[in-house]
């Protein structure tokens, strides 16, 4: 179970980083994020992670915590660099 929870932690961390970028690009999200709520991702493309997160959310709510659900339909492939047309030259003499 430890390996599975580590896997879910890694996947949720990735979603969290992407959501942070999304929020920076969509300032209107600040209105929704003003209250102290734990963000729970519900990825439509990863049923196992979605179920794990729903169970975690229900436990948080049962303990009196507040949750904000963020549904994610898909993730695009990772882009490692936005540079295009890079040329490298050793010397320009």
Helix, strand or coil for residue 61? helix
- Residue 92 has a pLDDT of 67
The model carries a pTM of: 0.78
pLDDT recorded at residue 39: 93
Q: Per residue of the chain (93 residues), give pLDDT as tens.
A: 578 889 999 999 999 999 998 998 988 888 888 778 999 999 999 999 999 999 999 999 999 999 999 999 999 888 777 778 888 887 766
Residues in the chain: 93
Q: What is the pLDDT of residue 54?
A: 98
């Amino acid at each position: 179970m430890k390996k599975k929870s580590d896997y879910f932690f890694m996947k949720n961390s990735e979603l969290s980083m992407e959501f942070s970028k999304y929020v920076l690009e969509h300032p209107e999200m600040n209105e929704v994020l003003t209250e102290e709520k734990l963000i729970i991702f519900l990825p439509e493309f990863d049923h196992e992670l979605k179920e794990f997160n729903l169970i975690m959310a229900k436990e948080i709510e049962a303990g009196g915590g507040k949750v904000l659900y963020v549904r994610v339909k898909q993730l695009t492939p990772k882009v490692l660099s936005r540079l295009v047309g890079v040329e490298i030259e050793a010397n320009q003499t």
